Structure 1
Amino acid sequence: MPVVRGSERYSCQVLCMNRKIIMIRPKTCLANDGNYREPRWFTAWKQKDQMVEFRLPPTIADDISQNTAPFELYSSVAPHSLLALNGVEVFMNASGSHHQLRNVDVRMDALKGATKSRGGLYIYSNQQGCDGGRLYYDGCCCVVMNGDVVAQGSQFSLKDVEVVVAHVDLDAVASLRLSSSSFQEQASSKTTVPSVIAPYKLCRSFNLEEPISHPLKIKYHEPEEEIAFGPACWLWDYLRRSGASGFLVPLSGGADSSSVAAIVGCMCQLVKLRNGNEQVKTDALRIGQYPNGQYPTDGMEFAERIFFQKPQDHDPKCLQAKSGHGISMFTLTGKRPRYKVNGGSNAENLGLHNIQARTRMVFAFMLASLMPWVRNKSGFYLVLATSNVDEALRGNLTKYDCSSGDLNPIGSINKTDLRAFLRWAAVHLGYSSLAAVEAAPPTGELEPARCDCTQDLCFKWGSKLTPSEIGEKVKHFFNYSPEDNRFDLRQFLYNSTWPFQFRKIDELVKEASCNKADLSRLDDRDDKHAGVISNHIGAMGIHENGN
């Protein structure tokens, strides 16, 4: 919680026991990258090795009959190491770690490493669910003992609260530490850490009815499962908090929109599977607006109540009507745009294509407002965007088309992972038609490029494109603006008038072209000799246009 001390505001843990505040711990390091900007609101404690008495606000002091509490302020590079040398056996980490694909193994390795060599009992708790923003906190609380996980909670759950319990023997911590003479040497010259005395006994006598928890195999989800369950749980939490009565997705039939539909389907299945949870049941009855005594019979039935899929119109007459609407408005300028096949320019052609895409967004939000009314329901639908991260970073999309919506379940997932998810969902979620969607050839897909990759692409694409063609493709990247990624503080639109990056690309293109020309002259002079050299170059793994 935020705690104001003097003129500073700190982000703190407040430890309470039996209606008393026994300690307040401010953060000494603030997260200032990725999705987090804590220095916007808080300051970090920059002094070391201090403990002071913090005067509690009068309203709190009166409620708990306590005027002050220890404000423990110390800083070190690795707190658990110094605490272990001071004899601390139990470490608590109250975390706010959001879900990232393939990141649980990194988290678990860190928790195990914290206690493996120095010993200790590590209790890791984490938030679970959506806080109303873009992030989903994925739980996975656990208990780690001397480098082994002895209890683990679920990573994806619709529960509001989950408690994980383990029975451990703290003598095992002492045994591990005393078996290491180097640890004892370090402990004899340690820096003393201030402590607070809490009138509580952690341990009790050994009881055969409560066996010691043994190391267990850590539960890891496959990436395809993470794509299914993570966004699904996030959507459910957002839906129940927002007051909406369902979702709407503009469905084109491609991989992206089909993935979003499958994720919503997974959410509906989770609601059915969790029908023993009273809070989930209450929320499902309210959102689905079921009559008294009814409850979802299965995920499909629940989806029919809360999910509306608007097919993207490909009928030529419909497209003509959409673009014609825009043309009739544009004639106010005295000009009438035409498609390229009818003699129009690139600007006219692009404008007429984009009008269809953006009209889709307008219709989607209109339907989201009116479909509950059509179905005699109250509320509104949340519009789901269907733009993957490759499109956002590359700028390969029409603004305010598939990238527009209230939420985007696949906004941080790349196309390769989405295709793997579709293959998995066709089998494990029971949506067999997704296999055909995944197998269909993509339309309009561009591979993302980076401004500093001209040389690498000359190696990768040298057999198909000339260095000059590759250079033009890389330059083209600078003229695209990625969709807004608010957690990314880099500029999202490069200035295409800056000369440096284009000059460097031209230098690389010239160098690669000269190398290719040298090889061509060598080939003309002596085909046989050049063939021998070429074979040697191929054996070394170097492309013909390489340096």
Structure 2
Amino acid sequence: MLFVISATAHTTLTPTHTTALEIAEKLNNRSYTDYGNIESKLDSSSHLAVELIHVRLLLSVLIDLHRICGEEEGSTWEPKSPQEIANRIFCTAYMGMEKNSSPETRKRAADLAKVIGANHLDFDIDPVYDAQVKLLTSTTGFEPKFKMYGGTKVSNLALQNIQARLRMVNAYTLAQLLPQINGRREGAPGSLLVLGSANVDEQIRGYYTKYDCSSADINPIGGISKTDLKSFILWASKKENFGLGLLQKFLDAPPTAELEPLTEDYVQGMTYNELSVYGRMRKIDKLGVYGMWEKLLHVWGDTLSPQQIYEKVRFFSWNYAINRHKMTTVTPAYHMEAYGVDDNRFDMRPFLYPSFEWAYKKIERSIKQMGAAGTRAARAEDKDT
């Protein structure tokens, strides 16, 4: 079991802030900052628990901790450090692929787990992946290949999805059996839950696989954008008493899923900063396709033409519409911000959308009326006149 992670490191822990969370998945997918955020938020909660026990002398927190960690009644165990708590409640697993996973990501995962005090597992899922591909080939006679080896775009994506979903299966297997493997006291109450790692930007873009690391028991970072997540990691990396300076390496690492044998970044067609802007306009400002374009003329007009802004908005709206159905299966997230996209209770919207042709045509008419100005960015002197 694990403390529910709060949006800040200063939320007071009470019995209502505890739940049965003990294993978090680093499924070697999503970007590295997501993994760093889950672990850094756990670490901040462990620090807070130690403070509440030793500085504020809150006996109720120690009693809760005994219950969460499966201690027998009357136990005198008292954690002296956040790492001691994490070692009892937190497990991580790096589930790599021999060809696709890099030594750098594997080492970063192990180093962070060691600093926090988590029980860390490191293994490759190649045998299970190979068996799944062989099963498909023996059943259908078709052998899927990655695109770089002559495969199609469809087979390339299918092979990536096999890896992602196998990691979810392994995560739940570990969650069920690790208490027994680690010698948890027979009859001790509680169970293990899996932590998810899909953030708001990835959900609104649809940049994740159904039933991969987006599917878990709870998602601590599912209600916050990538840009805000990076801000939290930067804060945690500079917090001296946390001792998490190595988080800077996660911020510097390029985001990549490592699901295919390529070294360059995966191209989403839009940046995380752009996704953050779209997300706020969509949810907080309640803007549709035309409203977004109209407002972005004033935000991006210095560097982009109305036509270019339209193309960006159209690309986003298309991806949002075709991927919205994925939100019906996403794990409930800890609610943090007004731009959240949690379909379970906060952002209930249709999951099947018609095309936005009316809005597209309205924008196209507006650009046509602008004449030459519709295809070039506004200059500073134009704005001043």
SS at match of 1:354: helix
Please name the residue that 2:133 is paired with: 327
1:324 to 1:259, Cα distance in 2 relative to 1, 3 A? same
Aligned pairs (5 A) from 1:221-240 = 226-230=7-11, 233=13, 237-239=17-19
- Structure with the bigger RCO (C-alpha within 8 Å, sep 6+) is 2
2:66 to 285, 303, 324: 285
2:323 to 469, 472, 480: 480
User: Per-residue CA shift, 1:254-279, capped at 9, x if unaligned?
Assistant: 11121111111122222222222222
Normalised by the length of structure 2, the TM-score is 0.66
Contact 1:471 1:505 (8 Å CA) reproduced: no
1:279 to 1:414, Cα distance in 2 relative to 1, 3 A? same
SS at match of 1:309: strand
1-structure distance, mates of 2:173, 2:348: 34
User: Per-residue CA shift, 1:395-431, capped at 9, x if unaligned?
Assistant: 2222222221111112212222211111111232221
User: Per-residue CA shift, 1:420-456, capped at 9, x if unaligned?
Assistant: 1111112322211112222333345643245332344
Q: Which has the higher helix share?
A: 2
Gaps of 5+ in 2: 101-123, 257-265, 283-288, 329-342
| Matched residue type, 1:279 | S
1:424 to 1:466, Cα distance in 2 relative to 1, 3 A? closer
1:362 to 153, 169, 176: 169
Pair 1:399-2:210 in alignment: yes
Please name the residue that 2:119 is paired with: none
Query: CA offset at residue 290 of structure 1?
Result: 4.2
SS at match of 1:404: coil
Larger Rg: 1
Please name the residue that 1:470 is paired with: 312
Normalised by the length of structure 1, the TM-score is 0.48
1:259 to 1:334, Cα distance in 2 relative to 1, 3 A? same
1-structure distance, mates of 2:368, 2:238: 51
Aligned pairs (5 A) from 1:145-224 = none
1-structure distance, mates of 2:244, 2:230: 14
Please name the residue that 1:438 is paired with: 251
Contact 1:467 1:513 (8 Å CA) reproduced: no
2-structure distance, mates of 1:498, 1:294: 61
User: Per-residue CA shift, 1:7-66, capped at 9, x if unaligned?
Assistant: xxxxxxxxxxxxxxxxxxxxxxxxxxxxxxxxxxxxxxxxxxxxxxxxxxxxxxxxxxxx
Aligned pairs (5 A) from 1:277-356 = 277-290=58-71, 292-316=75-99, 318=124, 320-331=126-137, 332-356=139-163
Contact 2:14 2:61 (8 Å CA) reproduced: no
Q: Which has the higher strand share?
A: 1
Please name the residue that 2:105 is paired with: none
Query: CA offset at residue 458 of structure 1?
Result: 5.9
1-structure distance, mates of 2:235, 2:219: 20
Please name the residue that 1:198 is paired with: none
Which stretch has the larger CA shift, 380-389 or 360-369? Answer: 380-389
1:421 to 1:509, Cα distance in 2 relative to 1, 3 A? same
SS at match of 1:227: coil
Contact 2:196 2:217 (8 Å CA) reproduced: yes
User: Per-residue CA shift, 1:476-530, capped at 9, x if unaligned?
Assistant: 332221524222354242424464344345445655675346x79xxxxxxxxxx
Pair 1:270-2:48 in alignment: yes
SS at match of 1:296: coil
Pair 1:261-2:18 in alignment: no
The alignment covers a number of residue pairs equal to 301
Contact 1:394 1:480 (8 Å CA) reproduced: yes
1:373 to 172, 180, 185: 180
2-structure distance, mates of 1:235, 1:357: 35
1:454 to 277, 282, 293: 293
What is the Cα-based RMSD across aligned positions, in Å? 3.5
2-structure distance, mates of 1:326, 1:512: 55
- Structure 1 vs Structure 2: percent identity of aligned residues? 27
